[in-house]
Structure 1
């Protein structure tokens, strides 16, 4: 795949890749799970919007009309990217803020004694808004447990966890730590059988997998553009059927129609413009007669390329006795995201060494997957070391990481 994936063409679209330390050593970005670098198309779209004249909405003058056109165009781009309807796409500060706002709205549908189900695998942004909702409404909160041997959700007991009293199920499509892709179809099927609303956290999945909102069958999907080559802005996709009856906290004169009613206050218009630019970057990597087809094709190319990088790193890390790799078994669908610990060494010591000696951006910590971190007892050593790939990473960078880790271990694990 490396001989056909246009890696140099891709890298040329990311200005940050030209950044260097001491004017000669390039930075290597292995921190994609925490946020990717921004594609030039996103930067250009933001600058073009700002330079052409910024304005608020509902005016008769040209810049106001242009701002409204920008929002409409970005909604359409997101709709093609995630296979949903444009009117189902709402913008917000970030995924977490949107989740809390939606949780407050869903309180109208939940009563004392009902059940809310979350998971032990998820980032807390898809846990705490729903636990807060459960607490406020006197609702029973239940967890789908993590299987500590496979780093995936334990679904064998699903019928006893999601019951006739369950009103909401929140689940992540992919772990931002282990990369495990969850069997969402199985969870959605059970939730729909009992009439529960399903919220999917797609923040970590969207940069790596082709997402089909309609096919997935969930009611709400949340993601953030800064994880797929765009600016810091969040998106909530809500089925029009639910969205229309969703009560929201809003100003009295503000719009009541979807999706505007969820977008409280003035939005980040330049970021919304940049979002369309990021999707345009992805589209240019695919083939097809329509934008939707090109986007799906592009994501398939990205996944194939990233899988090749991931296979190389997974084999390498599994061969090192001092390394504990938190990775689901072969045959489990995973994103190119790796969390590991090194025996008797704090995670921050590892990432600091790589930053100072190899100019590599590698993260450490619990990454807000704190339930899993507690259950796997990684916090005493500073959490995990996490390395994650984006389509601008190269085989050469992976080999350099391998060289660096061998060097680190030779220095720090001598008897």
Structure 2
């Protein structure tokens, strides 16, 4: 397998050439939304210029739209390793989650139970908590605050014959923790419960195989893995066919379109198709022997995982050298496989907003706050004081950017960042 070609990768993303205050912009904001390749912009523009029409019409542009929908479903099916008829598109992950939760709610009885976790984005919590209005019991599994991992003992104890669904995140968008979704699905299925997976944060960092996970539903958002704003839902076909969605009559009743309310974001599908085309091409570059799309996508995510682990190691080592800095989550270098390159932190004497503002002035883009991961922020006791500063890397980030970020943090938190600058000049962090 060939290593990632960072020069080629970065050449595909025009946004990375921006300058702020005379300095090259560094995008450490990936968990909040990634940049897109130029091919995505071109595909959206081309659709709007040449094929812009509603679906199922008896004329050329509508027929092109029908073909686009089919092609986008096929591409996502390869991305997730599922059938094309198991792919549903929507406005975003949150909307799709509420769509499914309301349909599942129609099948539940008072006293039935749903399990959520304190580690999750609240899009995968609030949608299920809303069902408490009809007598559904919502159980929240706690975390171990020392490393922000799930409390497996509590999860196991919470599962029982009344459990109807487990809503779980593949990875935490606040602190990077990766959950063992396949193991959770196995435990849930043993008591007859279904599993709903939020893979929004995980999607840009690792291969998703819904067959191997054996989850019942999985959602992700294209704008988190280098695409446009478009929500994606996988559902096992038997569930999509059996459950009854709320919909406008006389909308189609076939799977999967029965789940897609209103006119869809066709230009977004064109952009998504181009996103997966970019990732496929990158997969062919890292392993030319991978001829089909699914194989190429698996190859590229493996290469991305390896490269991001190198970035994580360098960033983690550097962060641990900064006085007064606390990292929330997994910090052991031998456990990098258990986390994404997303780090939530605080520095004594600074609010997260102050840190993000100063970094932004240096053209380094990070996020601050709770990131809708209210459970983990509250569990860590940080909700009232501004949450966390979040640094999130993806495969288009470079080691030089990591070094510049670390130097900036030293300069901001020390009277003069001379010591770190000297270390950088004598021994490059790698």
**TM-score normalised by length of structure 1:** 0.96
Q: Which residue of 2 aligns with 1:262?
A: 259
Q: Which residue of 2 aligns with 1:290?
A: 292
Aligned partner of 1:125 among 120, 123, 126: 123
Q: Which residue of 1 aligns with 2:425?
A: none
C-alpha contact 1:345 1:381 (8 A) present in aligned 2: no
Q: Per the alignment, in what secondary structure is the counterpart of residue 192 of structure 2?
A: coil
Q: Which residue of 1 aligns with 2:215?
A: 218
Report how far residue 379 of structure 1 moved: 2.4
Q: For 1:385-412, what per-residue CA distance to the aligned partner results, in whole angstroms no more than 9, with x for missing partners?
A: 0111111111111110111011001149
Written as runs of structure 1 = structure 2, the 5 A alignment for 1:333-412 is 333-356=338-361, 358-411=362-415
Q: Per the alignment, in what secondary structure is the counterpart of residue 308 of structure 2?
A: helix
Report how far residue 65 of structure 1 moved: 0.3
Q: Per the alignment, in what secondary structure is the counterpart of residue 237 of structure 1?
A: strand
C-alpha contact 1:177 1:339 (8 A) present in aligned 2: yes
Aligned partner of 2:327 among 325, 328, 351: 325
1:192 aligned onto 2:189? yes
Q: Per the alignment, in what secondary structure is the counterpart of residue 253 of structure 2?
A: coil
Q: Per the alignment, in what secondary structure is the counterpart of residue 60 of structure 1?
A: coil
In the alignment, structure 2 segments of 5+ residues that lack a partner are 418-430
Q: Which residue of 2 aligns with 1:27?
A: 25
Q: Which residue of 2 aligns with 1:165?
A: 162
CA distance in 2, matches of 1:26, 1:150: 34
CA distance in 2, matches of 1:322, 1:99: 39
1:311 aligned onto 2:303? no
Q: Per the alignment, in what secondary structure is the counterpart of residue 284 of structure 1?
A: helix
C-alpha contact 2:182 2:215 (8 A) present in aligned 1: no
Deviates more, 1:395-404 or 1:329-338: 329-338
Structure 1 runs (4+) greater than 6 angstroms displaced: none
C-alpha contact 2:322 2:410 (8 A) present in aligned 1: no
Q: Per the alignment, in what secondary structure is the counterpart of residue 302 of structure 1?
A: helix
Q: Which residue of 1 aligns with 2:12?
A: 13
CA distance in 1, matches of 2:415, 2:350: 12
**TM-score normalised by length of structure 2:** 0.93
Q: For 1:345-374, what per-residue CA distance to the aligned partner results, in whole angstroms no more than 9, with x for missing partners?
A: 111100101111x20111100111111111
Q: Per the alignment, in what secondary structure is the counterpart of residue 66 of structure 1?
A: helix
Report how far residue 252 of structure 1 moved: 1.5
Q: For 1:269-327, what per-residue CA distance to the aligned partner results, in whole angstroms no more than 9, with x for missing partners?
A: 00011001111111111130211000000111111111110110111112323000012
1:150 aligned onto 2:147? yes
CA distance in 2, matches of 1:61, 1:208: 40
Q: Per the alignment, in what secondary structure is the counterpart of residue 152 of structure 2?
A: coil
C-alpha contact 1:354 1:360 (8 A) present in aligned 2: yes
In the alignment, structure 1 segments of 5+ residues that lack a partner are none
Aligned partner of 2:277 among 276, 280, 301: 280
C-alpha contact 1:124 1:369 (8 A) present in aligned 2: yes
C-alpha contact 2:149 2:329 (8 A) present in aligned 1: no
Q: Per the alignment, in what secondary structure is the counterpart of residue 153 of structure 2?
A: coil
Q: Per the alignment, in what secondary structure is the counterpart of residue 109 of structure 1?
A: coil
Aligned partner of 2:203 among 206, 229, 232: 206
CA distance in 2, matches of 1:225, 1:201: 13
Aligned pairs, number: 409
Report how far residue 329 of structure 1 moved: 4.7
